[in-house]
Amino acid sequence: MNTKFYDIAIVGGGIVGLATALALKARFPRYSLTVLEKESEVAHHQTGHNSGVIHAGIYYKPGSYKAKLCIEGARLMLEFCRENSVPYDRCGKLIVATTAEELPRLHNLYERGRANGIAGLELIDPERAREIEPHTNAVQAIYSPDTAITDFGQVAAAMARNIRNTGGEILLSSRVLGIRGTGGDYHLETAGADIRCRRLINCAGLHADRVARMMGLHPEILLLPFRGEYYTLGPECRLVRNLIYPVADPQFPFLGVHFTKKIDGGYEAGPNAVLAFAREGYRFGNVCWKDLAAMFTHPGFWAMAWRYWHIQAYELYRSLSRRAFLNALQKLVPELQDRDLARGGSGVRAQVVTREGLLADDFIIVESHNAINVLNAPSPAATASIAIGNYIADLAAKHFE
Ligand SMILES: Cc1cc2nc3c(=O)[nH]c(=O)nc-3n(C[C@H](O)[C@H](O)[C@H](O)COP(=O)(O)OP(=O)(O)OC[C@H]3O[C@@H](n4cnc5c(N)ncnc54)[C@H](O)[C@@H]3O)c2cc1C
């Protein structure tokens, strides 16, 4: 088999890998670069199966990578959409407290959003909430006028076009099977060609820990797949205008089932967050024994199961019971009826759990010899992708020989 040589190879053709390729191409125009993607198209996994929300950056701890890169990334994402004719809608969002007990958490979120400098954030009363979303049941709410929606699959397709137009390559159906260090370079065995590269970036999403291990790293973390299931709202359901979210549980890095307007005009409700039995477990019945073995033999899994068992038991129940899913949604929009819902698609989030069983709260990006590994890039990484790409290009400029 022929060996191809590149200055930079990126594993993973999701939105983070593609945005990183664009940033590196802009920073090092003379370097040859390839993106290796195991599927026959880009954006096949998380990037093509999400809610499509360009988050404003309210939820994230001030000073964290998530806060910084989401806020900067949202601005850059809107600019990218405008420049590349990708549709977007700055439709705004409500975060709704439906009981008095939720108010302290709502106020904490509001303070966090203000500390993050989110423009236009308002704490509003029930009347104003009903002007924005006439069918919602709010005791009080946060209004975020700058939250927007797009289709990250279309964003990724536009990024892929731009990479090719600037001389980069994208090799599809090229699963990286093994990595060896040879004479200062990396030698990648792939399902297509043999690849040698001088610098390597790992943006493999649900498989990022495995790709890091192929490089000889020993990250102590485990990537867990959390499936998010959606229902769609029928076209005659006129109960939602834009985006309605509950007050998120601060113990859990997911936002709770919510209503989302899609850029194509439809509406979705979800996603929940159920531990999947396979890293690409889009359905309940998908089981991968290799993935389960990796979970069950990692101490972090058992510590996580112990810590969050009550939340996961409820998520599993709500996944199996349509009634329970409807009940959660009716807290936000009481008039919603079972007939308004139809089973929709799903996506699987890659979420790092530490040895101590904690679900990592921030993005994790680590450097090793001439390599950078993106180990934890769950939501809002689609929003933040361009800022993450720029951050990685900065690291590369500093640390690559
Ligand atoms: C249900 C759900 C809802 C979400 N909602 C939002 C939202 O509204 N807003 C937001 O900002 N974020 C959201 N997210 C998060 C967002 O989708 C992800 O953070 C983002 O897509 C991560 O991109 P990525 O490129 O890291 O991963 P991915 O898109 O998963 O890409 C990784 C790529 O690597 C490839 N790969 C893996 N292993 C190999 C290998 N060995 N060789 C070659 N290729 C390989 C995979 O095939 C894949 O294409 C959501 C996620 C989910 C699942």
Question: In the chain, where are the structural domains located?
Answer: 3-47+153-221+362-399, 93-145, 222-359
Short-list 209, 235, 250, 252, CA closest to 350: 209
347 has which bridge partners?
228
Give the residue, out of 22, 34, 45, with the most ligand 1 atoms within 8 A of its beta carbon, to mutate for a pocket test: 45
Residue written as token pair 């910084």: 68
Find the residues whose C-beta lies inside 6 A of ligand 1.
11-17, 36-39, 44-47, 49-53, 55, 175-176, 203-207, 211, 228, 271, 347-349, 377-383
Q: What ranges in 47-168 are assigned the alpha helix state H?
A: 65-83, 103-115, 126-132, 152-165
Residue nearest to atom 51 of ligand 1 (CA): 50
Residue 109: predicted pLDDT:
96
The two three-digit tokens of residue 185, written as one number: 């370079």
Task: Specify the pLDDT at position 1.
Answer: 64
Cα–Cα distance for residue pair 151/171, rounded to 1 Å: 23
**Top mutation candidate among 172, 194, 379 for ligand 1, by most atoms within 8 Å of CB:** 379
Mutate which of 50, 189, 226, 315 for ligand 1? The one with the most ligand atoms within 8 Å of its CB, which is 50
> How far does residue 46's CA lie from ligand 1's centre (Å)?
3
Whole-model pTM above 0.95?
A: yes
For residue 196, what are its two tokens?
């040698």
Q: What b-and-e string marks burial along 128-147, b requiring 16 or more CB atoms within 10 Å of the CB?
A: ebeebbebbbbbbbbbbbbb
Q: Measuring CA to CA, how many Å separate 303 from each of 153, 295, 361? A: 35, 11, 16
pLDDT in tens, the chain (401 residues): 678 999 999 999 999 999 999 999 999 999 999 999 999 999 999 999 999 999 999 999 999 999 999 999 999 999 999 999 999 999 999 999 999 999 999 999 999 999 999 999 999 999 999 999 999 999 999 999 999 999 999 999 999 999 999 999 999 999 999 999 877 899 999 987 899 999 999 999 999 999 999 999 988 899 999 999 999 998 888 999 999 999 988 777 788 899 999 999 999 999 999 999 999 999 999 999 999 999 999 999 999 999 988 888 999 999 999 999 999 999 999 999 999 999 999 999 999 999 999 999 999 999 988 999 999 999 999 999 999 999 999 999 998 76
Count how many Cα atoms sit within 13 Å of the Cα of residue 260 in the half-sphere of its side chain.
26
Chain segment 141-182, per-residue pLDDT in tens: 999 999 999 999 999 999 999 999 999 999 999 999 999 987
Interval between CA 13 and ligand 1 midpoint (Å): 9
Of 12, 14, 307, 54, nearest in space to 175 by CA: 12
- Protein residue whose Cα sits closest to atom 41 of ligand 1: 176
Output the pLDDT for position 77.
98
User: In the prediction, which pLDDT does 169 show?
Assistant: 98
% helix / strand / coil in the chain, to the nearest 5?
A: 35, 25, 35
Calculate how far, in angstroms, residue 12's C-alpha sits from the geometric centre of ligand 1.
Answer: 9
Largest CA distance in the chain: 68
Asked if the 3-47+153-221+362-399 domain carries CATH number 3.50.50.60, the reply is: yes
Atom of ligand 1 nearest to the CA of 378: 19
CA of 203 to the centre of ligand 1 (A): 9
- Asked whether the bond before 380 is cis by omega within 30 degrees of 0, the reply is yes
3-47+153-221+362-399 and 222-359 have identical folds: no
* Ligand 1 centroid distance, CA of 14 (Å): 6
pLDDT of amino acid 401: 61
Cβ-Cβ contacts under 8 Å for 25 (sequence gap 6 or more):
31, 33, 163, 166, 167, 168
Residues 345 and 233: beta-carbon distance below 8 Å:
no
CA distance 212 to 176: 11
**106 C-alpha vs ligand 1 centroid, how far in Å?**
29
240: left (phi over 0), alpha (psi -120 to 50) or beta: beta
Q: For residue 2, what pLDDT is reported?
A: 78
The CATH code belonging to domain 222-359 is 3.30.9
Q: Which residue has a Cα nearest atom 4 of ligand 1?
A: 50
- 378 C-alpha vs ligand 1 centroid, how far in Å? 7
Which ligand 1 atom sits closest to the C-alpha of 16? 25
Dihedral through CA 187, CA 156, CA 393, CA 58, nearest 10? -130
Tens of pLDDT, residues 29-65: 999 999 999 999 999 999 999 999 999 999 999 999 9
Strand-pair category, 194-202 with 267-270: unpaired
- The DSSP code for 278 is S
Q: Which atom of ligand 1 is nearest to the CA of 349?
A: 53
Most ligand 1 atoms within 8 A of CB, residue of 15, 34, 40, 46 to mutate: 46
Give the strand pairing for 371-376 and 258-261: unpaired
